Amino acid sequence: MGNNNLPRNRIEARHQQVVKLTRQGCSAAQIADRLNITRRTVVRIRKLHGIAQPPLHRYSAEEIAAIEQLLDDGCSLAEVARTIGRPAPYLWRRYAGRGWTPSQAGQFGNMLRKMGI
């Protein structure tokens, strides 16, 4: 999928679409699927334009309160993400160090397996 066959204006339009979709919070995989390009191409275009990842989602005051309460109650970040309907990677970046450690998650998984759940 080289750019050699595409006119310059189409290449620039593709770049702008990638930038726009990234700013809307789409993942590289989602953008690649929509634009019929590879994930690596999306990553390269993002790097060229100085944007490595989508921006962090803005959370409402109610969402922040719910997140904090769930984390205080001992929920994992993955469970919090499912509960509030937000992508887990955004929570991991925003609430780094909160929630379960990988060791704790493994212990919980082992306990569930022993219980047959």
pLDDT score, position 55: 59
Tell me what pLDDT residue 114 has: 93
Q: What is residue 18's predicted lDDT score, i.e. its pLDDT?
A: 92
Amino acid letter, 14: R
pLDDT of residue 1: 47
Burial of 81 (C-beta count, 10 Å sphere; 0-12/13-18/19+): buried
Closest CA to 84 of 98, 97, 76: 76
The pLDDT assigned to 4 comes to 59
Taking the domains of the chain in order of start, what are their residue ranges?
Answer: 8-48, 61-115
Residues of the chain scoring pLDDT < 50: 1
Q: What are phi and psi of 66, to 5 degrees?
A: -65, -40
The Cα–Cα gap between 48 and 51 comes to: 8
| CA gap 103, 90 in Å, rounded | 21
